[in-house]
Chains A and B, each alone.
Chain A
């Protein structure tokens, strides 16, 4: 088999894996958008915040130590204990639920019935607030996140592909576990929304707020629930991205990467988020591989956006989105 083709296959496989990670972030967006019509720009910062909290709890950091030291002139930074990964994850999930409740209580409740674009800007404000809050709570240095996921090259795949083609593919173990986790997450979410009582209520709210209210569904509870789930998805995305590239500010920029995924897949569709993520992941890796060297590289910065833009001109609601009908 020609070498170029083998390289392209490897790039495609890696693109698929990257696409799964994009889809993980996009999933959080879709959940909130379906349930409350809010386009939650803060999703990326939520992932960053969750990852920061997780590392902070694991290492036994003192929250706000920086601030306390600056005000009282003390020198505290660590409690001196280490929390096992599983407990730390549970604690972080609890923090995200608390966060969801606060957001509902102090922000969303006051913005009911505002136009979508105002809500979008409100989540931008929320993102800024959380970014500053997270940094102030846990410090802004780059942290290493390790919850015991396997890392590094997968030798089984390397060996098998070497036997088949005479060229070993480089696939990261972390990407494989991310794929498995993503699949589990999607199945769990689908089962939850199809078969559980709360899931049905959630779909009812997504369908029609007023009708849902009139049959006795508490909107506020649903919003807290859906922001908690989105917080949990953000936690999973934060763990995956954090283990891959360290917990740092750039983690919050994955939200920007998830936007074209959403536009491509449609804002209201969970399968759309997955398919969109895969298309963008493979597309940008292949584009960088084939066209990138001709135009100076680093095309990954914009390829996804331009692809989504061109795509939207022909199909404004995305691949799986609901048809937009407008009336005067």
Chain B
């Protein structure tokens, strides 16, 4: 009864091609935004922000970024962890070198620097394809992590080899450092998430996104119909790395506060983000969010129910988590290769016809 498009007439091309063509969806989206900005900051506490909301928001940006590269442009990358590290270290260097500049710009410039590094490691994609490329991006992963571990300039010669975020504020409200309020860090990340999703959505439905999808579907055919593979692939690498870099910068500065590169941005992180977009749905904005939510929530739920509820030891719960993640990936690839996003789509189709499906 609720979810209807009857009577919702489209009179222009612009109306027809908007992101949420159904009025109910549009309305739900505005309500969601309003709740996220106006209600959630007043009701959350430290536990929720640190265990669920912040990782979800930050991983959602990373998943959006990787989805541009893998889901839309079809270039599989296993270097996400490395690029997040670039964002984090760029942000750290900027924060310590220019303490007077607003951290907002530091994060964005860190994304820009990551985009340049992404361009560099994207160059081989013009020669190498498929999983040869996936393996080649591992070179970025291992080399970058090694670089940040070994060159003291990147961590300002600190004795521990760690980087830790100095205290910075936006409009007088602290967002990094040890004495932050939960709602402030949450809102700071939320702004980046909403902006990223808006940019990615509009990029992918415009000519840039169509070029990426043509390259994904078959690059030789795309080249013949006039898509420049150099431009399309490199722009996908740059845009993807930009968002991944922003995610890395936020992950370090706002969420963790202090990181050790091998631990925070290792190969496991690359796989984690890749799993998010596989489970969520390749080539889907909603899928990036759904996948991030799923991969963040599942360990929390498992831990609470197994360790808290049944009293299992933590290592056993961790092993079970591995099995479940692996099993789910296999399950999704076999049953629903398009992920949670496809399930959502099917549910919406059903909802439109409910309760009279014929």
Q: Mark A residues whose CB is within 8 Å of B.
A: 39, 66-67, 70, 107, 110-111, 114, 116-118, 120-122, 124-133, 135-136, 140, 256, 259-260, 262-263, 295-299, 301-302, 305-306, 308-309, 312-313, 316, 326-328
If A116-B131, A140-B319 touch, whether A124 touches B143 (CB-CB below 8 Å) is: no
Measured CA separation A256–B134 after assembly (Å): 12
- Could you tell me the distance between the alpha carbons of A122 and B327 in the complex, rounded to whole angstroms? 10
Residues A259 and B138 in contact in the complex (CB < 8 Å), given A136-B320, A298-B146: yes
Residues of B in contact with A, size category: 35 or more
Chain A residues with CB below 8 A from B27, complex form: none
Contacting residue for B135 out of A132, A259, A297, A299, CB 8 A: A259
The listed residue (B150, B271, B274, B310) touching A296 by CB distance below 8 A is B150
B residues less than 8 Å from A326 (CB atoms): 220
* Contact call B136/A312, Cβ cutoff below 8 A: yes
Q: Are A70 and B323 in contact (CB under 8 A)?
A: no
Binds A, one of B16-24, B122-130, B344-352: B122-130
> Are A299 and B326 in contact, CB atoms less than 8 angstroms apart?
no
Q: Is B36 an interface residue (CB 8 A)?
A: no
Within 8 A of A (CB), among B304-326: 310-313, 315-316, 319-326
B321-A132 in contact (CB<8A): yes
Partner of A125, one of B76, B130, B135, B326: B326
Which residue of chain A has the shortest Cβ distance to B332 in the bound complex? A125
Is A136 touching B127 in the complex (CB atoms < 8 A)? Answer: no
Contacts of B143 in A (CB 8 A): 302, 305-306
Known A259-B135, A301-B142, A312-B136: A132·B333 in contact at CB below 8 Å: no
Chain B residue numbers with a CB within 8 Å of A256 are: 138, 267
- Nearest-CB distance from A168 to chain B (Å)? 32
- A131 adjacent to B322 (CB under 8 Å): yes
Q: Would A263 and B334 count as touching, CB distance under 8 A?
A: no
A43 to B221, CA, bound (A): 34
A66 to B313, CA, bound (A): 9
Q: Is the CB of A308 within 8 A of B271?
A: no
Q: Whose C-beta in chain A lies nearest to the C-beta of B223?
A: A328
> Does B139 count as interface, using CB distance less than 8 angstroms?
yes
Query: Are B323 and A129 in contact, CB atoms less than 8 angstroms apart?
Result: yes
A296–B221 Cα gap in the complex (Å)? Answer: 46
Give the residue of B130, B271, B313, B326 whose beta carbon is less than 8 angstroms from that of A132.
B326
Contact between chains at B330 and A316 (CB < 8 Å)? no
Contacts A120-B131, A301-B142; A131 near B326 (Cβ below 8 A): yes
Q: Tell me, in angstroms, the Cα distance from A305 to B320 when the chains sit together.
A: 32
Which of the residues B132, B271, B310, B334 comes within 8 Å of A110, measured between beta carbons? B334
Indicate which residue in A127, A260, A262, A328 contacts B218 across the interface (CB closer than 8 Å). Answer: A328
